[in-house]
């Protein structure tokens, strides 16, 4: 059984912050440009029913990567791809920038199957917008603002969620040496097509202390902010998550001639597993939520008793002890179901990420930014997992949420009001400037921006 346990430290010291930011409020993101990019990117991977499918390292994902890098280059910024396939976007080298700590901002471009257009993409494009505004403003921040699109956050095709952020944070030991997708195909080739290099992952690890802080702007993906009519969410803790891949093995047979007694029906046993997983949260309240979302049946034939089922059980809670209790209870249930049904049931893979608190200093900076912009805000946990909970190993992290209409996400109907998208990006910009610290604007290097008079 491969087991990816992603430990999460929060040993990041709080930051000195320029809470009394003296920047003019008119230094703002270009909302039209941000919304335009969101809408353009949303066409990549969109299917006939409007759902977007850009599984990590798929052809659609590569198309989205090219779009982002083209936008960055056209903005006069410098995109690059590391060995893990993460895209990093920097300002053209400012003198001395190479020796500065980095203020990292971003999210992910890859999606689940039949996703909406905002999960991940919004945070990446808002981070691009912030780096572009800082570059255009001529500000010379103490920490270098860098935008990142982490590779394979969802793990929809290659089941190593948080792949890119785990490499950046140095968690190489927690990753399989030869990652395979759900169909057993190796990652090596698709990763190199995306600009990465499986043999050089070490070069993509950032040394501890090189990242001053990491900020992620994201749609809430739940109902809390919409219900309270609050435009800005300040995340206090990101949920822990355990995803167990379970294999149920029975005996195949003819659906019509095999007596019910003595059957070892893998689907009937898998159904009990799914109900056991649901009961752990719904009836027993051991953890907050449990989901069996993926289920592959073999031979998957209507008149054959299945001999094998592979399913995933996703267990989540913001408390590590409850997470462990839920996983123990689930494993006990598997043993009992195997006995009752005469099948063999094993956990063949597991990825786990611990609950991670946001850094107090970053929560304060986000709050100060929302306040000065006159935006109502509230503190809430994140029920979704995010790259931020991995980056927390090497830097203080902060997350900003905006409301999801109907609390929907991971579905084509995912949506957020444009004014909320704009507000979230403004808060990201001002929080970034608070954290990066600002010095007197330096004159833009003439070569950096095309001189309109010379065109």
Which residue among 55, 61, 153, 317 contacts ligand HGY (CB under 6 A)?
153
DSSP-assigned letters across all residues of 318-344: SSHHHHHHHHHHHHHHHHHHHHHHT-E
H-assigned helices in 286-398: 320-341, 360-372, 388-391
In this structure, how many other beta carbons lie within 10 angstroms of the beta carbon of residue 248?
30
Does residue number 154 form part of the binding site for ligand HGY (CB under 6 A)? yes
End-to-end CA distance of the chain: 62
Contact partners, residue 440, CB within 8 Å, separation at least 6: 140
Q: Are 405 and 416 in contact (CB under 8 A)?
A: yes
Does residue number 216 form part of the binding site for ligand HGY (CB under 6 A)? no
Q: Which is nearer to ligand HGY, 103 or 124 (CB)?
A: 124
Q: Which is nearer to ligand HGY, 120 or 141 (CB)?
A: 120
In the complex, the smallest distance separating the C-beta of residue 293 from Mn ion, rounded to whole angstroms, is 12
Per-residue binding letters, 109-138, with Mn ion (x by CB under 5 A): ----------xx------------------
Choices 22-30, 153-161, 200-208, 255-263; region in contact with ligand HGY by CB under 6 A: 153-161
Does residue number 385 form part of the binding site for ligand HGY (CB under 6 A)? yes
Residues 355-384 within binding reach of ligand HGY (CB under 6 A):
384
* Binding residue count for ligand HGY, defined by CB under 6 A: 5
**Which tokens in the block code for residue 426?**
């403004």
The rounded Cα 266 to chain-centroid distance in angstroms is: 33
- 214 by DSSP, 3-state: which? strand
Q: Which is nearer to ligand HGY, 15 or 149 (CB)?
A: 149
Is the bond leading into 299 cis (omega within 30 degrees of zero)?
A: yes
In the complex, the smallest distance separating the C-beta of residue 284 from ligand HGY, rounded to whole angstroms, is 22
Give which of Mn ion, ligand HGY, none residue 385 binds (C-beta under 5 to 8 Å, depending on kind).
ligand HGY
Rounded Cα–Cα distance for residues 335 and 104 (Å): 45
In the complex, the smallest distance separating the C-beta of residue 131 from ligand HGY, rounded to whole angstroms, is 24
Q: Which is nearer to ligand HGY, 152 or 341 (CB)?
A: 152
Rounded Cα–Cα distance for residues 225 and 192 (Å): 40
Q: Which residues of this protein are in contact with ligand HGY, per CB under 6 A?
A: 153-154, 161, 384-385
Contact positions toward Mn ion, by CB under 5 A? 119-120
């Amino acid at each position: 059984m491969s087991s990816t346990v992603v430990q999460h430290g929060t040993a990041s010291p709080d930051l000195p912050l320029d809470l009394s930011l003296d920047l003019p409020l008119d230094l703002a993101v270009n909302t039209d440009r941000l919304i335009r990019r969101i809408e353009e990117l949303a066409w990549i991977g969109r299917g006939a029913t409007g759902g977007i499918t850009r599984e990590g390292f798929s052809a659609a994902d590569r198309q989205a990567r090219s779009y982002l890098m083209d936008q960055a280059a056209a903005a006069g910024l410098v995109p690059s791809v590391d060995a893990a396939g993460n895209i990093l976007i920097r300002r053209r080298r400012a003198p001395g920038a190479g020796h500065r700590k980095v203020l990292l901002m971003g999210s992910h471009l890859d999606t689940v199957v039949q996703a909406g257009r905002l999960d991940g993409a919004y945070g990446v494009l808002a981070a691009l917008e912030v780096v572009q505004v800082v570059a255009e403003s001529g500000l010379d921040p103490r920490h270098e603002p860098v935008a990142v699109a982490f590779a394979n956050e969802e793990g929809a095709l290659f089941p190593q969620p948080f792949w890119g952020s785990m490499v950046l944070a140095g968690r190489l030991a927690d990753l399989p040496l030869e990652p395979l997708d759900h169909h057993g195909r190796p990652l090596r080739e698709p990763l190199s097509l995306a600009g990465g290099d499986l043999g050089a992952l070490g070069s993509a690890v950032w040394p501890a202390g090189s990242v001053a802080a990491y900020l992620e702007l994201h749609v809430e993906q739940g109902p809390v902010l919409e219900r309270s009519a609050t435009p800005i969410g300040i995340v206090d803790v990101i949920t822990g998550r355990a995803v167990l891949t379970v294999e149920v093995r029975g005996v195949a047979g003819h659906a019509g001639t095999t007596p019910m007694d003595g059957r070892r029906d893998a689907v009937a046993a898998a159904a009990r597993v799914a109900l056991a997983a649901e009961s752990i949260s719904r009836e027993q309240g051991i953890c907050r939520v449990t989901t069996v979302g993926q289920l592959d049946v073999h031979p998957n034939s209507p008149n054959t008793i299945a001999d094998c089922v592979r399913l995933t059980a996703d267990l989540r809670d913001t408390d590590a002890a409850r997470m462990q209790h839920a996983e123990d209870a689930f494993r006990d249930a598997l043993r009992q179901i195997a006995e009752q049904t005469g099948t063999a049931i094993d956990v063949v893979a597991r990825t786990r990420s611990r609950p991670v608190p946001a850094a107090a200093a970053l929560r304060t900076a986000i709050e100060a930014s929302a306040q000065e912009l006159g935006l109502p805000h509230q503190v809430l946990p994140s029920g979704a997992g995010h790259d931020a909970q991995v980056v927390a190993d090497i830097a203080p992290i902060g997350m900003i949420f905006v409301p999801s209409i109907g609390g929907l996400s991971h579905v084509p109907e995912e949506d957020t009001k444009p004014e909320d998208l704009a507000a979230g990006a403004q808060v990201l910009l001002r929080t970034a400037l608070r954290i990066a610290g600002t010095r007197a604007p330096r004159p833009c290097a003439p070569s950096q921006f095309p001189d309109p008079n010379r065109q």
